[in-house]
Amino acid sequence: MRGGFYDIIKDFEIRMFTCALKCSRGNITVAAEALGINRQTLSEKLKANKIDLSEFLPKPEVKKEVSNYVPKLERVWCDHKMMLILQALESNNWNRTKAAADLDVSLRMLRYYIKAARQKGIEIPESPYYGKGYTR
């Protein structure tokens, strides 16, 4: 895979932040709500990634309420992570240790992502080798 898992997720995260800020016209509260995070977390992430809010602020004449137009992006973010995880698992014949190494995350973190995805209703199949004499 190109780049590490965290690099890919960070780039995707930045694109989501900018999209939410554009849709909310610089309103951090509305953008944070659309992303499914709290306002303070979004503010900290914007500072850490050096994203300037001034480019997203509306012109003085624009006073339209945009909260109805801001999509929920948390699901998109989760789906993107799961897509990367499934690709890594499939390319490594469902070997979680090798998939974790490809994603540049610990095996424990990969297991956490898989468990969290299953709890949210995302179907991640067991290894096709599970229960056939192979260890998990």
pLDDT digits (tens, 9 = 90+) for 94-131: 888 898 898 888 989 888 888 887 887 777 777 766 65
Residue linked to tokens 């990367």 = 84
> Does this model's pTM top 0.75?
no
Tell me the CATH number of domain 74-119, given options 3.40.220, 1.10.10, 1.10.287, 3.40.50. Answer: 1.10.10
pLDDT digits (tens, 9 = 90+) for 65-103: 444 444 556 666 667 777 888 888 888 888 888 988 988
Q: Note the pLDDT of residue 54.
A: 74
Helices vs strands, H then E, count in the chain: 6, 0
Contact 96, 111 (CB under 8 A): yes
pLDDT digits (tens, 9 = 90+) for 30-78: 888 887 888 888 888 888 888 877 777 665 554 444 444 445 566 666 6
Where in the chain is CATH 1.10.10? Answer: 5-55, 74-119
- Cross-strand pairs, 134: 130
More confident residue, 1 or 106: 106
130 vs 5: CA distance, rounded Å? 26
Q: Which residues of 96-130 are buried (b: 16+ CB within 10 A; e: fewer)?
A: beebbebbebeeeebeebbeebeeeebeeeeeeee
HSE-up of residue 84 (Cα within 13 Å, Cβ side): 23
* CATH number assigned to the domain covering 5-55: 1.10.10
107 vs 100: CA distance, rounded Å? 5
